[in-house]
């Protein structure tokens, strides 16, 4: 994770965005290969926590960004993926309790699209 995040003079917002994006990519790839969502999500958050101070971030910010990206991707992958990732990232990881931002109404609806469409297009 650290190698993907290195860049010269990046502001913390850009780094947090990259952490979130990379976490989403990892979860999408996990879904494509039928992998273990819990292990991947836990590893993503742990990696973000470990590299946070080197990137000038708080451990909590980095953990939340990794969890956010993982959850967004998992919500598209389906309810099993979402529930598994949510369970993994909402417990304490490496001494950090992940605190997620409350999603906006649009994010809540977007997260439910797979559930709402289930049975209509299968």
Q: What is the pLDDT of residues 101-117, one digit of tens each?
A: 655 445 656 666 666 66
Separation CA 5–CA 35 (nearest Å): 24
Domain count, the chain: 1
Identify whether 51 is part of a domain.
yes
- Which domain covers residue 102, as residue numbers? 2-117
Residue 93 DSSP one-character state: E
Does 10 fall in a domain?
Answer: yes
Helix (H) or strand (E) holding 97: strand 96-97
Q: Is residue 122 part of a domain?
A: no
Position 99 pLDDT exceeds 70: yes
> Tokens in use for 61?
């910010």
Given pLDDT bands bounded at 50, 70 and 90, which one contains residue 47?
Answer: very high
Looking at the domain assignment, is residue 23 inside a domain?
yes
Residue 11 placed within a domain: yes
In a domain, 8, yes or no: yes
User: Quick check: is 50 in a domain?
Assistant: yes
Q: Average pLDDT of 1-14?
A: 59
How far, in Å, CA of 64 to CA of 69, rounded? 9
* Torsion angle (degrees, nearest 10) of CA 111, 37, 1, 66: 30
The pTM of this model reads 0.75
Dist. CA 37–CA 22, nearest whole Å: 15
Average pLDDT on 40-58 reads 93
The verdict on residue 105 lying in a domain is yes
């Amino acid at each position: 994770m650290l190698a993907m995040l290195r860049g010269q003079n990046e502001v913390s917002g850009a780094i947090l965005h990259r952490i979130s994006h990379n976490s989403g990519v990892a979860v999408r790839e996990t879904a494509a290969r039928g992998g273990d969502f819990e292990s991947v999500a836990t590893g993503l958050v742990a990696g973000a926590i470990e590299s946070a101070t080197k990137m000038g971030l708080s451990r909590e910010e980095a953990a939340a960004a990794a969890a956010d990206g993982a959850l967004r991707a998992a919500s598209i992958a389906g309810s099993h993926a979402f529930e598994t990732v949510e369970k993994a990232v909402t417990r304490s990881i490496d001494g950090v309790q992940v605190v997620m931002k409350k999603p906006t109404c649009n994010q809540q609806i977007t997260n439910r699209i797979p559930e709402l469409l289930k049975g209509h297009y299968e």
